[in-house]
Chains A and B, each alone.
Chain A
């Protein structure tokens, strides 16, 4: 029978799920479940110094704007010109495994040098390879910007206007906080209120994001406000702050905004943010159907235990995994995701599940959802990335599945 854990007057009669999970599981599962949180201190430190560097160079350039290609260039010049380290076709495989075997510090250095050789950066195939190996922290912002490009053709002039309007709105709000507001303004204010509420609730364990001296928190708020002005029909949706924060941590404010607007516009994110339910349903079914084909054991296990895709996929998509996976892994996933857009999103979702498929099939509903909400932290993320890579999903295949799921829903067929 049930024997509740007695933990003082407050806890009387309440049994903690995590205690049960950890106490009652066999060794490997226990280890994985117990290992679900925490930032990697070393990684956090390197990210912090990167952010500091970014801010410093932004300050010296005056207007808070950095040209990402200049950054790359500057970094290129700092590194030694070591063409010998470039991946040559013949020995590419061998060199990749050599790089993967290195420790993090050495690896970052070698990878930086590899990014700096033109032949690697300009061949899309090599770029891909490098992205899968993990972009070094110092280059990440620039590489991400390049991967996303500028599909909306956003220029700095527009950004300047948006930034000014955000500042203006703030001032107006302060001035007539009790006065009447027109409909337009009040709609923006609703977005502003939510943004103000959510910015402090974004990556709360990442202290330096919220520290005053780096102004990242203000930048994050400003980015989201700018976006709500830029795309009033999308506005602000919860989940955006995590994605915007990832960009803010790696880029100057203008590049971060450009990256954010691009990713929302070019992927399924937009449908999720505006809650276009008919489409959201299609994407849930697409995921299910891919899961069934790729990892049938888990698919049937989830089905049997009522672990429905909307219990994790909505969260995964709307934050692009950043609320679920440890930060270091999130960055690795984004290296790939930003190259591939929607294909990347679905592929990563499957890869993450595939990587711990054996664990899932031994877990009940609670445990599955626990792992799907808080992905375990691994010392070596290469294996997770390898799982993502092992999922074969092409643009064409995704398109086929999407159109099949769309027509199934139209015909009123049951969800897979």
Chain B
């Protein structure tokens, strides 16, 4: 028996050493794999990978999945992760999409002002790794319009678009918009997120199940619309649509042109009544 004890001890030590050695090997391989993955991903994606993104990537070595994971390279603002409680009631929308929505409405949307410059918007988009691209449409007669869009998107959002008009000194953001993924609760969630970010003096102009509008936002209006088939014409410039996009939520901030003051509304009501009188069957001359 006494001879067996050292033997058992040796076996235990050997087994332990073996297990430890295996673990080390695995860790080493794992690290090698991670490095290789990072290197490959860095080459294909073309940007540094944050450490927290590595776990997402290392679990999907398949190249297709690496490509699909490109949207996970966009940077989420960590300060917003707790704020999504604002949208708690919308259970059908993922936390990721809620965060994206708040990131757009709180960080990007407010950039549409008379004082913002193109570089401010590019900077913000770069901060979130959305790969902005700017098209400058200029001519000698009506100056320059810069269009800013992005190659990447925050999850659940797409088609970020800004139009910036130059002036002799400076310029003005004339239009800023993005779209949110369709869903049964998407419209309400977007309206809530947008409303929460508006100044106190913003006034609601239109409010129904598919459209919400505000005015009096320092010379701008904001509107949120659930797109229907008539909005998805292939003739629309910039954004590609199919019929599957019905229900997409479009969010826009743009320079006000018309007015929704009470006097204006009264006039419009009168004109709508006149219009209703014209709805008679067509006749042939």
A binds B: no
Interface residues of A (CB under 8 A from B): none
